[in-house]
Structure 1
Amino acid sequence: MYLVGLIRALGLRGLLNAGWVAASLPIVIAFLPISQLLPFHRLLMQVARRGVKLCALPRSLVPQRNFLHFYMVGVVWTTFLLLSTYFYWKTVFVLLLLEIQVLRRLYESIHVFNYSPTARMHIFGYLVGILYDMFLPLYLLLVFSDEYVIPHGDWFEIVSCPHYLAEIVIYIGILVASRGLDITIWLLLVFVVSNLSIAAIETHKWYQ
């Protein structure tokens, strides 16, 4: 798939892994039982806190109802990736599970939760939520989309395209069944052999 190939070519998987580490490491460090880290712990809790009683500067706060944006982004982005990867069944299955999750959270944000007009959250937490719902499906896409490799074993040890060979054998069988008396079947066989041979040659070149 073009999208997966582009991501791999740009080396984004390593960047995504680094992003997960960078997002998790501050949380782990902040909760280490070290007294010198207490100011960092308080800062992190201030950023992560949501609700009415916040001490941060107003300019660094956004309405808590903006939680809705997380799942709107998640639904749109996951749907786009689903439409782009419909032929990778493992990826589709995992992304469908994620789609159900973000759709459920979107529904809850609209119809279940009743956010107070004065409730606020830190803008850093807001941005983290947006980025999370963008990077998670992208990461799942990389993990569960199988990279195409050159097949081996059975007839692949003899020819590059055994499925083409099998199709030619089928048409030869049709010719034998007709006792070779029908010119149309001969012409059909010639077309099949020539057409599949060209395709097999191109595939063999690609394998090399």
Structure 2
Amino acid sequence: MELSLVGLLRAGWVAAILPILIASLPFSWMTSFHGLVLGFAKRGKIMQASKSFSSDAYYWLPNWPLVSFYIAAPLSLCCNCTPDVYKFVLNGVAEFIVKGKSRMPSLEFDWWEFTIPLVKLGWFQRIGAAIFFYGWIHQRRCHAILGSLRERREQADEYVIPHGDWFRIVSSPHYLAEIVLYFGLLVASGGTDLTIWLLFIFVVANLVLAAAETHRWYRRKFENYPTNRRAVIPFVY
């Protein structure tokens, strides 16, 4: 089961990553495929045909037929322990069936046993957790800035340039913060699991493509848009 689950997850992430990477190639003859990939997006400014573009668009995740991000991502992060959890639950159910409810041992929760693993965390886990919460703080701030723009807008179709926090350096800081979050998880995992790497690469490829489209939209929309801002990677892209 372990090999089949891990193999399927890795194949799923590769299948999700490849179309995004191909659509990112700067070739004119790839325009149709680029539009097809963007067509999987259901919300956000990058959908050029939409009349409801909003400066508070949060995420752009392609709705791949066989890969659901919110299901596959947690599975990827715990794919190594999933078989053990499955066996534990299966044995518990079997024991309940054989012994019956009245003969089952009473469940007791020991807070000390729960906190011991946290005390024994290694340096990778501690550094990864610090990176994760650093990204989470900035993501929360950027979402608050985007939310305040909606509250201050006098007309529904009026757009303004967001400022503050990481908006000083990139157009999509909430995407950048999302990348930082997953980088923290990658560091916490020790960087030795290929499945976690594929998950991280998917997140980066997906959000960079979305951020590039958002950045182009901002530059077309505002003539006075700050020239020092990059799309998502500070001072680089």
Instruction: With the length of structure 2 as denominator, give the TM-score of the two structures.
Output: 0.28
TM-score normalised by L of structure 1? 0.31
Structure (1/2) with the larger helix percentage: 1
Q: Who wins on radius of gyration, i.e. which is larger?
A: 1
